[in-house]
Amino acid sequence: MSGRMAGKRVIVIGAGSVGEGWGNGKAAAVLYAREGAQVLCVDRSLSAAAETAALITTEGGTAHTFAGEMTDPLAATAMAGAAKSRMGGLDVMHFNIGTSVKGGLEETGFNDWNKVFSVNLDAAFHATKACVPLMGQGGALVYISSLAGLNNGPYRYIGYEASKAALQRFARSVAVEYAPRGIRANTVVPGMIDTPHVAAMIAPGQDMETVRSARAAQVPLKRQGTAWDIAEAALFLASDAAGFITGVDLRVDGGMGTLMGTSA
């Protein structure tokens, strides 16, 4: 198979979608496969992973599934084992999962704080620790963060903001530690993206057309991003085209971070 990921073996963690349509993880898994990679679709929901895998195989690509709760370190180890047994090794790990609980310091309890950190940061630690031993020269780690990790936005999500900032810092530490082995680590930083995740987690119960136009209006490019905007950025960072890029946070936000005065 030809393409920018020909011959690559990729894990996408959170390859399903919490709702109908294209989520970031689903689009990334399909795009990697379209570019020639075989993809292990990982999700806590087997049916969500299987749906993405079916999209890939229907298009003539190669996909496998693994169901596991990725906050569990044993599940991360089993996932790496599945990559080895099903694909013969691993070239790219794409860490997509993330969750949030609304509220600032006052509203946020320690349980919610821990829940958010366990998905957004601890699971990245477990997955990275399990996956890097399978990777060699040319390996790539891609983490999906959020503009909320850099700037205070219109919503207050203190656990989400702090954990995404930590995820980016974690990725940079991994980048430096594994650079001598030829393994790169980078972060994609999405801004306002129109995905099923927004309806499920950020604006549950709200009229989505109103939410969509309010979100688009805040973006300098006057539209929300799509899951494909995020997938294309991840694909670039995972591919050999980005072979000299490591430890980078790539904002994909229609200029919103610049508007908010981020220094990153």
Ligand X SMILES: NC(=O)c1ccc[n+]([C@@H]2O[C@H](COP(=O)([O-])OP(=O)(O)OC[C@H]3O[C@@H](n4cnc5c(N)ncnc54)[C@H](O)[C@@H]3O)[C@@H](O)[C@H]2O)c1
Catalytic residue annotation: 160
Confirm or reject binding of residue 186 to ligand X (CB under 6 A): no
Nearer to ligand X, 55 or 193 (CB): 193
Q: Is 56 in the site for ligand X (CB under 6 A)?
A: no
Q: Which two tokens stand for residue 43?
A: 């999700």
SS3 211: helix
Query: Can residue 252 be called a binding residue for ligand X (CB under 6 A)?
Result: no
- 12 forms beta bridges with 41, 94
Residues 114-153 that bind ligand X (CB under 6 A): 119, 123, 144, 146
State which of residues 190, 239, 252, 254 lies at the interface with ligand X (CB under 6 A).
190
Q: Among 30, 34, 43, 185, which residue sits at the site for ligand X (rule: CB under 6 A)?
A: 43
Residue 182: CB minimum distance to ligand X, A:
26
CB nearer to ligand X: pick between 19 and 136? 19
Q: What is the C-alpha separation between 188 and 209, in angstroms, rounded? A: 26
What does the alpha-carbon distance between residue 49 and residue 174 come to, in Å, rounded to a whole number? 27
**Residue 89 Cα distances to 40, 64, 79, angstroms:** 11, 13, 11
Nearer Cβ to ligand X (120/239): 120
C-alpha distances out from residue 249 to 51, 180, 188, 243, 254, Å = 30, 20, 6, 15, 15
Write phi, then psi, for 144 (nearest 5 degrees). Answer: -95, 115
Residue 42 CB contacts under 8 Å (≥ 6 apart), including other chains: 11, 12, 13, 14, 15, 49, 65, 66, 67, 68, 70, 79
Asked if 232 touches ligand X (CB under 6 A), the answer is: no
Q: Which of residues 75-114 bind ligand X (CB under 6 A)?
A: 96-98
For ligand X, which residue of 61, 139, 196, 254 counts as binding (CB under 6 A)? 196
Q: Which residue is nearest to ligand X (CB)?
A: 98
Judged by beta carbon, residue 179 or residue 217, the one nearer ligand X is 217
Q: Select from 33, 76, 185, 198 the one that contacts ligand X (CB under 6 A).
A: 198
Residue in 234, 229, 217 with CA at minimum distance from that of residue 253: 229
Q: Which amino acid is at 117?
A: F
**69 contributes a contact to ligand X by CB under 6 A:** yes
Binding site for ligand X (CB under 6 A): 14, 16-18, 23-25, 43-45, 48, 69-71, 96-98, 119, 123, 144, 146, 190, 192-193, 195-198
